[in-house]
Amino acid sequence: MRFGVFGWGIVAPKSPDIGAFTTNLASSETWLSPFNGFGPDNFLVGTPRFQFEDYREWIDARFAPRQFQTLKEKMDLPTLYAIGAFIQSLRQNPEIESELKALGSQAHVYLGTGLGSLDTIYSASVKLYEAQRRWDRFWSEPERNSELRAHLARPSADADPDVPPHPGSVIAAERDAAEQSWNRYWMERSPELQRYLADLARIDGLSIEGDIAAGKLNAIREKEKRRAKLQEEWQTPEPPWRVSANVIWNIHNTPAAQISILGKIKGLAFAPVAACSTFGVALKLAMRAIEHGDAKLVVVGATDPPPHPLTVGSFYSARVLSADRTVSVPLTRLQGTHVAGGAVVWILGDLEYCQAKGFRPLGMEPLSVGVSSDAHHIITPSAEGPWTAMQQALSEAGATPDAMGTWDLHATATPGDYSEVVGFRSIFPGDVFVTARKGTFGHGMSAGGGWELTAQYLGYEAGQLFPTPLSARELNPSIADLHDHIVYDTPCSFPSGLGGKLSMGIGGINACVISRPWPVPSAP
């Protein structure tokens, strides 16, 4: 069984689409920029260039006018990035859109995310926290809490020892926590709140009457009207349980689900999640589905949110993030990586089937994907895990190490770069040209591996290995002693032989992709 890539799309730092991505790869300049997500800070990140408005025309041509606005209002950026990349992927072979629809259950979507919709969860959590504090304070005020009034009327000698200390009785540094404990304690004991909740339960207990479709809408309207009246009577703040529904509209499988909806793709759609190896794992599963006859076309991809204070802060605390305001280039000072966001989408197909339909393959031919787990450590790679994935990929491709022409490293600009090159050289000879690109666009948790693989494929189409920000004088001496065929800040001719790409994900999940140039008759 042979496979081909018949469409691709990119959202990345400095690159709103696959065309800009291709153009930018020709430069050795970094695509990173200052973060300043904590106010002034010392971090560089890869912030995607993206305007969802660019895809309005495509969506408006296929759906009711409200569809675009609904997506914009309800979907977080990872889903919007994925939608944009998917629409781009339909352009290289325009008839492939109708083929995805016509295939029914034989067209699939495997599109994962590394970090999910962080900003939606973060924003909803902050609003919930603030709403809960207002709620506790409201129901713990004496005029709305007869039990508290009775407590305050008792002599201090009769005070209940289980009652938290009054906020006014503690030192200033402990006052905020004391206020929260005090308000929560008395809110839970408010008889007035119990009466309010009983009234609310009766409202929410209204059932649908008559025709279900019409009755459902009538019940919703009537409940909302009565809730508003109840809230007006009590003058309550917004209840804390009125959390945005966008929390559940933006779970990890949402990008895959939205692509299935927009593309009218009726086969399996789900989100593989394998951290930095997500794209490779999705590609592996797609190849297996096509090989087993379950699918003819599979949309594969990965999408990540833009850099967020939660991500940047946690990566820094994990001691894998650079924070000195300068670009940390892989294979150099090994100070850490840079957080980045965006998406990558490919359309993988059964080569024979797709060429019979007149579709043109892109880039290189994916031969195999080796996958493994370290079973070792949550973040520090083992030697055996990546080695196993590389050997498996070679075996499934029917290839030997000396057939390799170029290799893209995972290379996160941490001490793991040295270990990775040691593992690479335990298998492959010294004349393989090596690339390491996270100094270019940073580390997309799930999309980064797809960006790097797409860069390799685009390089083959252009007949060159695109430059990296690494200069020869910066190469770490310990790594230079291991391997010297490295692509620096000038391009070089694309070597003959196979291409390889290793990704090593958090949790010790590895994915190794082996690809080969198209034979001349099938060349793009």
What is the reported pLDDT for 445?
94
Same domain, 88 and 186: no
| Residue 207, pLDDT score | 84
Based on the domain organization, do 431 and 459 belong to the same domain?
yes
Residue pair 413/329 in contact by the 8 Å Cβ criterion = yes
Contact 453, 345 (CB under 8 A): no
What is the CATH number for 31? Answer: 3.40.47.10
Interval 308-313 mean pLDDT: 97
The structure's pTM equals 0.95
The Cα-based distances of 207 to 201, 202, 217, 219, 347 in angstroms read 12, 10, 11, 7, 46
Mean pLDDT of 503-512: 96
Same domain for 206 and 261? no
Q: How far apart are CA 299 and CA 77, in angstroms?
A: 19
Helix-helix angle 191-204:146-153, to 10 degrees: 170
Residues with Cβ < 8 Å from 502, sequence gap 6 or more? 386, 389, 390, 407, 408, 409, 410, 420, 424, 510, 511, 512
| Same-domain status, 186 and 257 | no
**Per-residue model confidence (pLDDT) at position 520:** 61
What is d(CA 377, CA 507) in angstroms, rounded to the nearest whole number?
A: 7
Q: Last residue of some domain: 234, 263, 280?
A: 234
With respect to residue 241, please indicate whether it lies within any of the assigned structural domains. Answer: no
Q: Which of 50-54, 142-146, 149-153 has the lowest mean pLDDT?
A: 149-153
Classified as helix, coil or strand, 345 is strand
Looking at residue 157, its pLDDT comes to 61
Query: Is the pLDDT confidence value at 326 over 90?
Result: yes
Q: Which of 207, 234, 261 is the last residue of a domain?
A: 234
477 pLDDT exceeds 50?
A: yes
DSSP string over 46-107:
BPBP--GGGGHHHHHTTS-THHHHHHHHH--HHHHHHHHHHHHHTSSSTTHHHHHHHTGGGE
Residue type, 430: G
Q: Is 127 among the domain residues? A: yes
> What are the structure tokens assigned to 59, written together?
């969506």
Specify whether 101 is located in the same domain as 135. no
Provide the domain count of the chain: 2
Q: Are residues 125 and 259 in the same domain?
A: no
**Range in 25-39, 200-214, 248-262, 288-302 the model is least confident about:** 200-214
Look at residue 98 in the predicted model and tell me its pLDDT: 98
381 touches 374 (CB < 8 A) = yes
Cβ–Cβ < 8 Å for 260, 111? no
Angle subtended at Cα 118 by Cα 113 and Cα 119, rounded to the nearest 5 degrees: 135
Letter string b/e over residues 433-442, b meaning 16 or more CB atoms within 10 A of that residue's CB: bbbbbbbbbb
Is the pLDDT at 522 greater than 70? The verdict is no
What's the pLDDT score for residue 215? 75
Angle at 422 between CA 489 and CA 320, to 5 degrees: 70
> What residues form DSSP beta bridges with 435?
408
523 in a structural domain: no
User: What's the confidence (pLDDT) of residue 495?
Assistant: 97
Q: What is the distance between the alpha carbons of residues 471 and 28, in angstroms, rounded to a whole number?
A: 10
The neighbour count for residue 415, using CB atoms within 10 Å, is 15
CB within 8 Å of 202: residues ≥ 6 apart? none
Distance CA 479, CA 456 (A): 22
CA distance 58 to 61: 5
Statement to judge: residues 220 and 259 lie in one domain: no
How many residues belong to the chain? 524
Question: What mean pLDDT comes out for the span 316-338?
Answer: 97
Give the residue carrying structure tokens 């009218």. 264
Instruction: Answer yes or no: are the C-beta atoms of 311 and 339 closer than 8 Å.
Output: yes
Name the token pair of 294: 């379950």
Q: Quote the pLDDT of residue 519.
A: 81
Spatial separation of the C-alpha atoms in residues 304 and 196, rounded to whole Å: 42
Per-residue pLDDT, averaged over 171-182, amounts to: 95
Which residues is 493 bridged to in the sheet?
464
Same domain, yes or no: 257 and 320: yes
**Where in the sequence is the domain holding 218, given as residue range(s)?**
121-234
524 found inside a domain: no
- End residue of a domain, out of 234, 267, 294: 234
Whether 244 is covered by a domain: the verdict is no
Query: Residue 220: what pLDDT?
Result: 86
Report percent pLDDT > 90 for the chain.
92
Averaged confidence pLDDT in the chain: 95
Identify the helix (H) or strand (E) that includes residue 156: none
What span, in angstroms and rounded, lies between the C-alpha atoms of 196 and 233? 10
Same domain for 192 and 79, yes or no, is no
* Chain segment 178-210, per-residue pLDDT in tens: 999 999 999 999 999 999 999 999 999 988 777
Is the pLDDT at 480 greater than 80? The verdict is: yes
371 in a domain, yes or no? yes
How does pLDDT run across 57-104, given as a tens digit for each residue?
Answer: 999 999 998 999 999 999 999 999 999 999 999 999 999 999 999 999
Judge if 109 and 129 occupy the same domain.
Answer: no
pLDDT digits (tens, 9 = 90+) for 62-75: 999 899 999 999 99
Taking the C-alpha atoms of residue 465 and residue 324, their distance in angstroms, rounded to an integer, is 29
Average pLDDT over residues 492-502: 97
**Do 209 and 188 belong to one domain?**
yes
For 228-268, how does the pLDDT look when each residue is reduced to its tens digit (9 = 90+)? 999 999 999 999 999 999 999 999 999 999 999 999 999 99
Asked whether residue 366 falls in the same domain as residue 404, the answer is yes
- Per-residue DSSP letter, 140: T
Residue 239 lies in a domain: no
Q: Greatest CA span in the chain, whole angstroms?
A: 96
Average pLDDT on 144-170 reads 87
